């Protein structure tokens, strides 16, 4: 999930389990602790987008990170608490509370991340396998607002600890059900797509932006990749966009042998589509798309990947480099998304 939602989740975990022992400061601590795993994006700031692909959701998102780093972080927070209240007698239960809070906030971070399509290395550093359940979009306003509502209760209810804990527990219960709903929607859409296809294909449904109802469906055969969209709120025949493929194009072989292409294949979990665009001067632009992510309006097959320029013999001239062609989040795009999800029209526009 997005970093803001992760922080909200950490604060909610703190509110439900540690508000009574640590007070309202536990909410701020839970939010900041939950932020820690996503600091791995700094690799991309300093070493470029390929480093971000390699390291984001890596070792800091391992199931081992929470129990190990959490202990050190908890001890540091406990020392901070002791310095703020030097006259209070040391309480071993406070240290225990800090330990459990840090471990819980750090370990739930990768667990909720795994329910998105991006891929999370839960077993790092012992395995680079990327685990992903196609249940939720990375940003879901309903998911986030449920956590916000619980935290508002926790902040307002200064002395009503039980009310704060109950509101947080209800929020966590709701988003658990919301996530399972998204997972079940994905399973249902995959089944519908298989029924609608005239030929056998490997079908995978992926979440789209902001909601669980509309799914992007990818159907793969040896000869083509088909992409369509299906909403359980507006069920209809899937309109497929078909992209023929005949193995690796000869012009792309030199690009496919690069380290950057190997990183993309691993990052995309082998969901890579190769395209070649010849130019008038005899060169060609080679693109490899991660087709787990895409949207309507010209980016159905994918909106990020790598590209390079090769000469007429296939020799590498430029790249490979990361490229992105994400659609704009403007009024027209949101209107189209609304229509795709619910059917009909959006506001006064047709």
pLDDT for 349 beyond 90: no
Q: Who wins on pLDDT, 85 or 120?
A: 120
The DSSP code sequence of 64-116 is: THHHHHHHHHHHHHHHHHHHHSTTSPP-HHHHHHHHHHHHHHHHHHHHHHTTS
Task: Tell me what pLDDT residue 7 has.
Answer: 97
Instruction: Find the mean pLDDT for residues 46-73.
Output: 90
pLDDT tens across 267-283, in order?
999 999 999 999 999 99
Q: Who wins on pLDDT, 319 or 124?
A: 124
Q: In what order do the strands lie in the sheet with 284-290?
A: 272-278, 284-290, 304-310, 316-324
Q: Who wins on pLDDT, 89 or 196?
A: 196
| Band of pLDDT at residue 59, cut at 50, 70 and 90 | very high
Task: Tell me what pLDDT residue 350 has.
Answer: 36
Angle in degrees, CA 280, 281, 284, rounded to 5: 80
What is the rounded distance in angstroms from the CA atom of residue 205 to the CA atom of residue 188?
9
What is the rounded distance in angstroms from the CA atom of residue 301 to the CA atom of residue 46?
29
**pTM (2 decimals)?**
0.90
Going by C-alpha positions, the residue among 105, 119, 118, 103 that lies closest to residue 67 is: 103
Angle in degrees, CA 62, 290, 61, rounded to 5: 10
Q: Considering the chain, what is the average pLDDT of its residues? A: 91
What is the rounded distance in angstroms from the CA atom of residue 243 to the CA atom of residue 141?
33
Q: State what percent of residues in the chain have pLDDT above 70.
A: 95
Instruction: Find the mean pLDDT for residues 233-248.
Output: 92
pLDDT tens across 255-271, in order?
999 999 999 999 999 99
| Band of pLDDT at residue 347, cut at 50, 70 and 90 | very low
pLDDT tens across 93-106, in order?
878 888 899 999 99
| Band of pLDDT at residue 348, cut at 50, 70 and 90 | very low
Instruction: Find the mean pLDDT for residues 309-333.
Output: 88
């Amino acid at each position: 999930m997005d970093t803001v939602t992760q922080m909200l989740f950490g604060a909610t975990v703190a509110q439900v389990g540690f508000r009574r022992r640590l007070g309202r400061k536990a909410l701020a601590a839970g939010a900041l602790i939950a932020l820690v795993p996503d600091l791995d994006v700094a690799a991309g700031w300093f070493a470029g987008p390929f480093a971000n692909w390699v390291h984001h959701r890596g070792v800091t998102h391992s199931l081992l990170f929470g129990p190990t780093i959490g202990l050190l972080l908890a001890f540091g927070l406990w020392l901070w608490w002791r310095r703020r209240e030097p006259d209070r007698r040391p309480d071993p239960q406070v240290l225990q509370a800090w330990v459990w809070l840090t471990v819980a906030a750090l370990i739930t971070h990768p667990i909720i991340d795994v329910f998105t399509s991006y891929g999370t290395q839960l077993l790092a550093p012992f395995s680079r396998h990327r685990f992903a359940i196609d249940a939720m979009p990375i940003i879901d306003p309903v998911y986030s607002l449920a956590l916000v509502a619980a935290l508002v209760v926790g902040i307002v209810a200064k002395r009503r600890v039980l009310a704060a804990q109950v509101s947080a527990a209800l929020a966590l219960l709701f988003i658990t059900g919301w996530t399972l709903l998204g997972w079940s929607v994905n399973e249902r859409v995959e089944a519908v797509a298989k029924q609608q296809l005239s030929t056998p294909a490997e079908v995978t449904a992926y979440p789209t932006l902001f909601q669980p109802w509309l799914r992007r469906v990818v159907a793969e055969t040896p000869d083509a990749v088909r992409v369509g969209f299906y909403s359980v709120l507006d069920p209809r025949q899937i309109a497929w966009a078909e992209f023929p493929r005949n193995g690796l194009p000869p012009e792309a072989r030199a690009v496919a042998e690069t380290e950057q292409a190997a990183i993309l294949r691993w990052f995309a979990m082998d969901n890579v589509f190769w395209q070649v665009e010849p130019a008038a001067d005899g060169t060609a632009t080679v693109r490899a798309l991660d087709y787990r992510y895409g949207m309507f309006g010209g980016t159905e097959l994918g909106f990020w990947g790598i590209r390079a320029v090769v000469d007429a013999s296939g020799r590498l001239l430029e790249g490979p480099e990361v490229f992105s062609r994400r659609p704009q989040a403007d009024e027209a795009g949101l209107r189209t998304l609304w229509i795709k999800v619910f059917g009909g029209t959006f506001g006064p526009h047709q």
